[in-house]
A and B are shown apart, each in its own frame.
Chain A
Amino acid sequence: MSNHSEYAKPGEYKPIDLLAVAAAREVNDGDIVFAGTGLPMLAIMLAQQESAPNSVCIYEAGSIDGKPVDLPTSVGDARCAHNAALAAGLTETFYGQLHRGYVDLGFLGGAEIDMYGNINTTIVGDYSNPDKRFTGSGGNPDILSMSRRTVLIMVQEKRRFKKNVDYITSPGWRIKKWPTGEFVPKQEVYGKYFRGGPSAVITNMGVFRFDDEGVMYLDTYHPGFTPEQVKDNCEFDLNISRVSGETVPPTYGELDLLYKVVDPEGIFLP
């Protein structure tokens, strides 16, 4: 058996494994994390197993600091509240926790994103007469608006990494000021309620961060890809001048935890 701290080699892990591991590495020990369904759950539960044992998870349906022994399939799942500190409701999670300022890290997905980290999970096309409708916002905009940091987990495709998203469901670093709709820095709209914004985007091809102007740049590219390939899968002009190197692959230990402890039933992992 290989050493647990040794890095797995290409072919020994799947893209989704790297996504989960890279996301887990964004959790600082002690973070209060507000997570959505799916990969965010794998990431926070992996982080709690390994690098951030003192991090706490809030799921928007009402469970606070739960200790699930079985992986939940949604944030409303009975499993989320297992051994929780509180089994409350949405008034508590959105207002008592998020609005009040407890949340350090949000963990979200999205269908489309622009270079400022604005997210669309609502429609494709014109909102008044759309070509396609997704699920709608859910808590995505709330979590992104008031977490100190937010990590966004996305699929890398040109049609998803857009110059302009068709509908801003969730606020990134440059957002619309109503009633005119002109784009201004997030700080200008949120004033004293400003706490932060999107801190990282993790896709099947790389890890992105945001500069002081709130513009996305490529930080690391996953093994098997080049920065240029990542750039080719963005509609906007991706900044690849600040690339720090290759994304660190999963360790054998992390893969073990993912498949044997976090998701042994194969709910989100294959």
Chain B
Amino acid sequence: MAKTQRVTLKEAASLIKDGDLLTFSGFTIWRRPMALVYELVRQGKKDLHLFEVNGGTHTEVLAGAKCVKIWESCWVGHELYGKLGEMIAREHCDPDSEVVIEDYSHAQVVARLLAGAYGLPFMPTALSMGTDILNPEYDMLKKAGLRDGSNPKIPKNKYVMHHDPFYDMGEVVLIPAVNPNWALIYASMASESGIIRMNSQTYTDPEAIRAADKVIVLAEEIVPDSYMRREPTRNMAAGYMVDYVVECPWGAHPTGSQGFYDVDADFIREFYAASKTDAGYEKWAQEWIFGVADHAEYMEKVGLHNLEKLRANTVLGYSTRMKRGSR
């Protein structure tokens, strides 16, 4: 049984090699391992292959820094705070771009991760049949010549239609498993031995942890093991499933973390505005990623006043002190 190792953010990022296949915790702009994502950019990672149940601000930060070679997912944007994933959109629309974009439906990407999590080769689903997602012409990894079996992380087919041999339910879609090299997980809580707990919705975090070969956890706080063992039904993963833990308060900022802090809407709006041009992104990254030495400096730059507005109400689990709408 491997023991969970405590590492620093810089050490955690240095474990990831160019070309690795990564997946992430969270959902759009919630519980993303942002501090680690910034560090990947600082360390200049290249040719990353992202497999995501959905994308968000972290995707755009990585794509803007030209760290991404393949993006397999179904959605990218910043919810109410930025309607598109501008970086991914520009890569898709640029005929000279070398980034490969593979679209699935949301439930299909879940199926890929689910099969990977349970050690199965594929998962059947009847969702989203009859759409252009299954158009053989739009299999972009195949078009790029990457489905030849030479990369063990890329399945030989995007999907296969198969007649149900058991109950004659008709044709269903077989979706290949995915087993990323790394799951980069932001957790509400980790124990000294690596037991993981998430507050509120689980998203696809349990599947991401299980599907990946190695797991790095950024924990909002590290708590005594005995505390986590008192209520095991609230836990998501046992310690031996987690390879590395970094204690990193505010590690999901500007995305939100239930029970700790809300989404930093203004921060994401500013990033989104900057991401509309490469020059805008460059300027933003100089200020917020390269212009700060580490996470502590980043937090100092965000500022206590802003952080206090985001801090969650301890009863409701979200902030009640920030202005969210026009009234």
Contacts and interface: CB of A to CB of B under 8 A. Distances in A.
Interface stretch (A12-20, A90-98, A211-219): A90-98
B170 A122 contact: no
Given A91-B110, A175-B130, A190-B170, 17 more contacts: A61-B28, A61-B30, A73-B80, A76-B29, A78-B318, A90-B106, A90-B107, A94-B110, A135-B85, A137-B128, A139-B106, A146-B126, A189-B171, A190-B130, A266-B327, A267-B80, A267-B324
B233 interface: no
Contact of A94 (B84, B106, B168, B258): B106
B288 interface: no
- The B contact surface, by secondary structure, is loop
Interface residues of A, number: 71
Contacts of A77: 30, 256, 263, 318
Interface in B123-167: 125-138, 140, 143, 161
B200 interface: yes
Contacts of B92: 123, 130, 133
B53 A169 contact: no
Contacts of A168: 130-132
Contacts of B327: 264-266
B27 A61 contact: yes
Interface string A125-164: 0011111111111111110011000000000000000000
B203 A74 contact: no
Contact of A167 (B132, B316, B326): B132
Interface stretch (B70-78, B217-225, B269-277, B290-298): B70-78
Contact of A74 (B28, B85, B170): B28
12 contacts: A61-B201, A73-B265, A81-B258, A89-B205, A127-B132, A136-B74, A136-B75, A137-B133, A145-B130, A191-B170, A192-B169, A193-B172
A134 B90 CA distance: 10
A57 to B, nearest CB: 14
Given A74-B28, A265-B327, A79 B318 contact: yes
